[in-house]
Amino acid sequence: MSRYLVTGGAGFIGRQVCRELLEHGHEVRVLDAMIEQVHGGGESPDLGDVELLRGDVRDAEKVRAGLAGVDGVVHLAAEVGVGQSMYEIERYVSTNDVGTAVLLQEMIDQPVDKIVVASSMSVYGEGRYRTPHGRVVDDARRRPEQIKAGRFEILSDEGEPLEPVATDETKRTDLASIYALTKYQQEQAVLIFGNAYQTDAVALRLFNVFGPGQALSNPYTGVLANFSSRIAAGQAPTIFEDGKQRRDFVHVNDVARAFRLALEKPEAKGETINVGSGRSYSVTEVAEKVAEAMGSDIKPEITGRARSGDIRNCFADISKARRLLGFEPERRLEDSLGELAEWVASQAVTDRNAEMRRHLEARGLVA
């Protein structure tokens, strides 16, 4: 049995990671700032047999208390949201990057055996593509003038249409948002620290995580939670661009298991590893499936406009997770939406989508 500190452990992913660790006989301590945007400003959540420390990961004294007597760390504490990161820059850089720096600084005097950090698929920017002639393209990007003209698909330099293909960890990173920049800094800081201080360090690049328990009133949270909250409020889900962009959706239970495996498997030391479902879905397809599961005939609003920092296509190649972690997704999107719909129906939802759009549009972040 080991004892683990989970930073951000009262959040959506963190709660499930805590359950996973407890179910496998470990002791868990949580450090969480309980910010209003995520937790609603209410009472502390029921985490079961978990020690909860309320505090900010940038507070060295709180971090020091959190590290006392633990064998390892799961570092989840972070601000999450591509769009919001583009105008609340100091908040994202401070929490994500400075918070990670404070944690690592304290780990020098209170060393642990292992740390696993939550990184993000956003560090890839656009995913991997292939030309009609079979050439793999690792550096695809859209030009602003192309997006403003409503041409959202990715083309090669020669104007050829590119086919999106699964992205593995060898694909070069391309940071298209402040959020992506902070997540890349987090993962690299942890890996550099691990190498220098002989601490087993692993970075898990999470794709789009979904499941019951996600913050429905936070418009910058996951796509499915955003769609669900809109439909529950009788409003059409908002889809930017043309809705044909493709993503990988992975269930939070599978993600939690991946964190546990990363803590347990020595083969993962020093590695960055994708955690996704290995499947891709168009955003419009997902919105329609969510509405169907919720018994609604509401159709999504496809805006034809693009948000600054968004990418077109990215979905995971999970071969490395299978090889190093023995990870295999157990929950398919199609089979899990009924569970999600049932949970949404039991929640009080405040739809803040219009507020999010106003913030973005006022700053010129929607083309």
The pLDDT confidence band at residue 357, using thresholds 50, 70 and 90, is: low
* Closest to 259 (Cα-Cα) out of 202, 215, 316: 202
pLDDT at residue number 219: 63
The dihedral built from the CA positions of residue 8, 15, 260 and 313, taken in this order, carries a sign that is: negative
| Residue 279 DSSP code | -
Please report the pLDDT score of residue 39 as a whole number.
Answer: 58
Q: What is the pLDDT of residue 364?
A: 64
Write down the mean pLDDT value for the chain. 91
What mean pLDDT comes out for the span 14-42? 86
Distance CA 318, CA 145 (A): 34
Choose the weakest-confidence range: 38-47, 146-155, 239-248. Answer: 38-47
Name the pLDDT band for 347 (thresholds 50, 70, 90).
confident
Helix or strand (DSSP H, E) at 209: strand 208-210
> Stretch 272-280: mean pLDDT, rounded?
97
Work out the average pLDDT over 108-133. Answer: 96
Q: Distance between CA 90 and CA 282 in Å, rounded?
A: 32
- Token duo for residue 20: 């996973």
User: In whole angstroms, what is the distance from residue 235 CA to residue 172 CA?
Assistant: 39
Residues 29, 73 contacting (CB under 8 angstroms): no
- Residue 353, token pair as written in the block: 């989508």
Six token digits for residue 261: 């495996």
CATH 3.20.20.220 is right for the domain spanning 3-362 = no
- Quick one: pLDDT at residue 242? 93
| Torsion of Cα atoms, 198 then 199 then 205 then 211, to 10° | 170
In angstroms, rounded to a whole number, what is the distance separating the alpha carbons of residues 113 and 317? 28
In sequence order, the 6+-apart residues with CB closer than 8 A to the CB of 61 are none
At residue 239, what are phi and psi to the nearest 5 degrees?
Answer: -120, 125
pLDDT level of residue 81 (50, 70, 90 thresholds): confident
- Give the pair of three-digit tokens for residue 175: 């940071």
For the chain, the C-alpha Rg in angstroms (whole number) is 20
Is residue 64 packed enough to be buried (19+ CB in 10 Å), middle (13-18) or exposed (0-12)?
middle
Residue 300 CA: distances (Å) to CA of 177, 230, 312: 25, 10, 18
